[in-house]
């Protein structure tokens, strides 16, 4: 107990010196200016007292304490000093934490720029310190360093050329290497896109394994996403075009499934801008028989199907992404995400063939909750097939083909789809829709030649639906 008392009283005696020194600093010189602050014993003993004089709260505590208690002696005096110690330590910690939070949130880019400026400082120690600090910045600052290096000269350029490879290695290469040696959840959390991948595919051993394979297959894509995300759209466009162009020429065993999964994972992120033909090229990869085989019977079928599903969700919420391939893929593999794509197209009131596929997708997925929306289209006269300027011809035995008035309208497709969702066969309402293994029904078989036949079919449906 005696040792503890001695330990407590030593800083109290030192604090008394600081307080007296603080009080003496308030005495004015004859010319009206403050005298130079004398060094306290605490300062001379090598202790850091900078926090004592920085926050205003600390100065106020010390000032009040000095006025109130310097004339007092004994245990009660020591008790008051202990209260003062607790007060200025608490306010110092709070002030320091607040200043750190503000700097991190508001001025991180300014701090990095300030460090960059110091790389050209005349002071060698200042240059060394700036280089050391820049070597410890996070991935969000790498883009700024690379942008600066592109126009920098002299000492700044030479140091940035040393710092950037070290940063990339520390933040990505070393982490990836460690993950490949030990594919653990702890290391995965340090790698780019793991949070999204985990939400999509989970974090079991199979998911961890394929995540590593994806990163190894396309390290440049993931490093770009981590360090310079603004450059990812152009690089993603190049990689998807390359894969889409070459996949048909590859043997089955050479199909780059990890690269395909990588571009789908990155492309499914809504923050990633998809330029030009990027979305089309990603969707083309859904068509390959080898991809369908791997997501059905492959070792990592569950994970790959989840990634493909995430891409289809992106196609469903992003205007401008072609819907045909995602819709057909959803129908083939019974993916509920296809409904998102279908609803986007239907609500856009499309007058293209993708409206036919969207309605048929809802029928294929047995989306009975969308019956009210589908039945609201039973009076929609928009012609979906054939395209404008084209005419359907009928072959007459022993004669030339003749023009017909046959066409497929939105209402015709909606009628067949509504009938299917109510377990009514198309031929029970007078429709000649032909079944298809790809799209449920062939597009050109969903229409009518004349208005009376169309009206009779609608009346039959309403009778059977009731």
337 class by beta-carbon count within 10 Å (0-12 exposed, 13-18 middle, 19+ buried): buried
From residue 140, how far is each of 57, 164, 230, 409 by CA, in Å?
A: 35, 13, 11, 52
For the chain, how big is the Rg over CA atoms in Å?
A: 36
For range 295-305, the mean pLDDT: 90
Helices (H), 268-409: 278-284, 289-297, 301-317, 324-333, 337-347, 354-364, 371-375
Interior/surface letters 10-37, b for 16+ CB within 10 angstroms, e for the rest = eebebbbbbbebbeeeeeeeeeeeeeee
The tokens describing 84, both together, are: 């003062």
pLDDT band at 248 (very low <50, low <70, confident <90, very high): low
Residue spans of the domains in the chain: they are 2-104, 109-167, 182-322, 350-466
Query: Are residues 255 and 217 in contact, defined by beta-carbon separation less than 8 angstroms?
Result: no
Model confidence pLDDT, tens digit, residues 84-117: 555 555 555 454 444 434 334 334 888 999 999 9
Indicate the helix (H) or strand (E) that contains 436: strand 435-436
Q: How confident is the model at residue 63 (pLDDT cuts 50, 70, 90)?
A: low
The token pair at 245 is 């162009």
Cβ–Cβ under 8 Å, residues 236 and 278:
yes
Among 299-303, 442-446, 453-457, the range scoring the smallest mean pLDDT is 299-303
pLDDT of residue 17: 52
Residue 362 has phi, psi (to 5 degrees) of: -65, -35
pLDDT at 412 over 90: yes
Is the per-residue pLDDT at 157 higher than 70? Answer: yes
What 8-state DSSP symbol labels residue 393? E
User: What is the phi/psi pair of residue 408, to 5°?
Assistant: -115, 120
CA distance 332 to 346: 20
State the Cα angle at 320 between 314 and 325, rounded to 5°. Answer: 65
Task: Look at residue 267 and tell me whether its pLDDT is greater than 90.
Answer: yes
Least confident among 90-94, 239-243, 384-388: 90-94
Kindly state the average pLDDT of the residues 165-188. 92
For 52-68, b where at least 16 C-beta lie within 10 A, e where not — what string? beebeebeebbeebbee
CA–CA distance, 233 with 217 (Å, rounded to integer) = 18
The Cα 185–Cα 258 span in angstroms is 20
The pLDDT tens digits of the residues spanning 414-430 come to 999 999 999 999 999 99
Q: In this predicted model, which residue has the larger pLDDT, 373 or 205?
A: 373
**Three-state DSSP state, 228:** coil
Give the pLDDT confidence of 339-374 residue by residue, as tens digits.
Answer: 999 999 999 999 999 999 999 999 999 999 999 999
Examine the pLDDT at 285 and tell me if it is beyond 50.
yes
DSSP 97-119: HHHHHHHHHHSHHHHHHHHHHHT
Stretch among 106-115, 127-136, 199-208, 417-426 having the lowest mean pLDDT: 106-115
d(C-alpha 225, C-alpha 169), whole Å: 15
Structure tokens belonging to residue 25:
């600093």
pLDDT (0 to 100) of residue 269:
96
Closest C-alpha among 383, 461, 386, 376 to residue 424: 461
Q: How much is the mean pLDDT over the chain?
A: 81
* Res 348: pLDDT: 95
Q: Is the peptide bond before 386 cis (omega within 30 degrees of 0)?
A: yes
For residue 397, the model assigns a pLDDT of: 80
Closest CA to 330 of 438, 446, 445: 438
Quickly state the pLDDT bin for 316 (edges 50, 70, 90): very high
How much is the pTM?
Answer: 0.70
Whether residue 326 contacts residue 311, with contact meaning beta carbons closer than 8 Å, is answered with yes
Q: Residue 277 CB: number of other CB atoms within 10 A?
A: 15
Rounded CA-CA distance 191/212 in Å is 10
CA-angle at 201, arms to 189 and 334, nearest 5°: 165
Q: Is 268's pLDDT higher than 70? A: yes
């Amino acid at each position: 107990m005696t040792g503890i008392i001695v330990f407590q009283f030593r800083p109290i005696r030192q604090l008394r010196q600081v307080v007296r020194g603080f009080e003496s600093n308030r005495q004015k010189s004859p010319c009206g200016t403050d005298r130079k602050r004398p060094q306290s014993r605490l300062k001379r003993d090598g202790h850091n007292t900078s926090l004592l004089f920085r926050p205003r709260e600390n100065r106020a505590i010390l000032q009040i304490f000095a006025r109130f208690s310097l004339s007092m002696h004994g245990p009660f005096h020591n008790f008051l000093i202990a209260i003062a110690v607790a007060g200025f330590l608490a306010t110092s910690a709070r002030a320091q934490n607040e200043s750190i939070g503000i700097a991190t949130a508001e001025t991180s880019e300014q701090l990095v720029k300030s460090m960059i400026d110091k790389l050209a400082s005349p002071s060698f120690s200042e240059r060394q310190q700036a280089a050391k600090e820049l070597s410890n910045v996070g991935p969000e600052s790498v883009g700024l360093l690379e942008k600066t290096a592109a126009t920098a000269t002299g000492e700044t350029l030479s140091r940035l050329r040393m710092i950037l490879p070290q940063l990339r290695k520390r933040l990505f290469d070393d982490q990836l290497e460690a993950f490949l040696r030990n594919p653990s959840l702890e290391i995965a959390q340090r790698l780019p896109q793991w949070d999204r991948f985990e939400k999509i595919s989970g974090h079991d051993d199979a998911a961890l394994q394929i995540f590593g394979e994806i990163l190894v297959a396309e390290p440049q894509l993931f490093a770009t996403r981590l360090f310079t995300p603004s450059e990812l759209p152009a690089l993603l466009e190049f990689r998807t075009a390359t894969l889409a162009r070459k996949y048909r020429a590859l043997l089955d065993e050479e199909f780059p499934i990890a690269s395909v999964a990588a571009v789908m994972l990155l492309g499914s992120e809504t923050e990633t801008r998809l330029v030009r033909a990027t979305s089309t090229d990603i969707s083309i990869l859904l068509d390959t028989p080898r991809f369908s085989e791997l997501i059905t019977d492959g070792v990592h079928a569950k994970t790959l199907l989840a990634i493909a599903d995430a891409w289809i969700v992106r196609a469903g919420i992003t205007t401008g992404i072609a819907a045909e391939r995602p819709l057909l893929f959803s129908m083939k593999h019974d993916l509920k995400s296809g409904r998102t794509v279908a609803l986007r197209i239907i609500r856009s009131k499309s007058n293209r063939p993708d409206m036919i596929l969207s309605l048929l997708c809802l029928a294929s997925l047995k989306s009975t909750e969308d019956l009210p929306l589908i039945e609201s289209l039973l009076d929609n006269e928009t012609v979906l097939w054939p395209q404008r300027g084209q005419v359907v011809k009928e072959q007459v035995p022993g004669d030339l083909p003749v023009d017909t008035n046959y066409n497929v309208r939105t209402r015709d497709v909606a009628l067949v789809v509504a009938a299917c969702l109510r377990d009514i066969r198309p031929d029970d309402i007078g429709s000649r829709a032909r079944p298809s293994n790809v799209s449920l029904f062939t597009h050109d078989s969903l229409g009518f030649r004349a208005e009376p036949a169309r009206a009779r079919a609608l009346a039959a449906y309403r009778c059977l639906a009731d």
